Amino acid sequence: MNDLYQGFTSSPIGKQLTKMLGLPQPTKLDRYAEGAPLVDGTVAVGGRGRLAESLAGVLDSLGIAAVAQTVGDDTFKGLVFDATGLTSSDQLVELRDFFTPLLRRLDRCPRVVVIGTPPELAQGEERVAQRALEGFTRSLGKEIGRGGTVQLVYVAEGAEGAVHSTLAFLLSPKSAYVSGQVIRIGAHGSKDAGEVGDWLRPLEGRVALVTGASRGIGEQIARVLHRDGATVVGVDVPQAASELQAVMKEIDGDHLVLDITAKDAPHRIARHLKEKHGGVDVVVHNAGITRDKKLANMAEDRFEQVISVNLTAPERITRHLLDEKVVNDNGSIVGVASIAGIAGNVGQTNYAASKAGVIGLVDSLADELDRGITINAVAPGFIITQMTAAVPFATREVGQRLNAMAQGGLPVDVAEAIAWYASPGSTAVNGNVVRVCGQMMLGA
């Protein structure tokens, strides 16, 4: 599953040829290695607003070196700008004043974060200025290059102390394939963060359920959650039982073999989690299928199967686990949606409907949940898996290049985003849909 084009562009001849022809030159992305520091370098902070005075301390608590003084010729691994103090459109020039002198001093694979106030919670001129931040960050994400990422984090008033887990994720290599995203903290439900004892193992002592855990993205989700300290309960269909058991054995997890669309599946899952683990802290709805055909040629069973597996089953399981209080206090529910559910895709009306429905599930429950439980979703773009490796070469190449990073993502990129949602430090991160797509040119 190697990216042959990226390998070619890294060679001396490839560099010269792609530059001459104006072709994409994807940077090899930094990705997190277990036990490594969150940030290998220094982060410059600036701006004025509700978080300006606390940002350096927040980063220091995460083991991230931060400086406010940016005079000189030092290079930076990241930039964080507090824009919560921008209350009118004429003040937006402060973004240029901070970023323009520093962009040429960024290291390879840099991380940029702009912090604002949710526009829907602001009034008048401030609302205008805060909404403008979205256009700024998404455009900068497509300009920054060299494997860099740019994000906008809207922090509700009163949630300033809940930014730690989100900054840890966005400033680290864990967010390698996440860019151009808008994240809200404290806009739905709790404005407080749970306690994290160890930022290298934030899920210590927690139980995580992962459906479709035997291979691909699901396997990586299970492995990353285990890396972060969780006991993983993997679920998959009988046909994948041997693979599921092998993965769970390797990560000291538990397993449950069943078809999630079965009528009794929610009950069986709930009973297993209660009897063997006393409940569950993290629920990841990853299992999914495709049955692609243009709608004019699609049989009823192809449409129904995709909706049933990708949407109806997660919805039924979620509601049963909540009704039976199997999900523990401050638990996390995460759905795996898709960029197809946002932008659409030819031949995937069934799949896109199911994945848009996952986003709808997040929207429907975000303001209803109690006991500190959160619900969020990831929306992967082109992720390199065994399934995408079977896609015709030309189609695969186009799919991988149509994003700001000019490359496909890896299953671990999706898993890292889910682990961030699952962290007890993310209890104020609720109702979000984050695209793991390298900032696709369409629908992102």
Catalytic sites, residue numbers? 351
Listing DSSP states for 1-32 in one string gives ---HHHHHHTSHHHHHHHHHHT---PPPPP--
Residues 6+ apart with CB under 8 A from 273: 207, 209, 233, 279, 280, 321, 326
Quick one: CA torsion of 80, 81, 84, 87, rounded to 10 degrees? -160
Find the farthest-apart pair of alpha carbons in the chain and give their distance in angstroms, rounded: 65
Residue 171 sits at φ, ψ, to 5 deg, of -90, -10
User: What's the CA gap between 404 and 422, in Å, rounded?
Assistant: 27
DSSP 406: S
User: What's the CA gap between 428 and 185, in Å, rounded?
Assistant: 5
Q: Residue 222 in contact with residue 232, Cβ under 8 Å?
A: yes
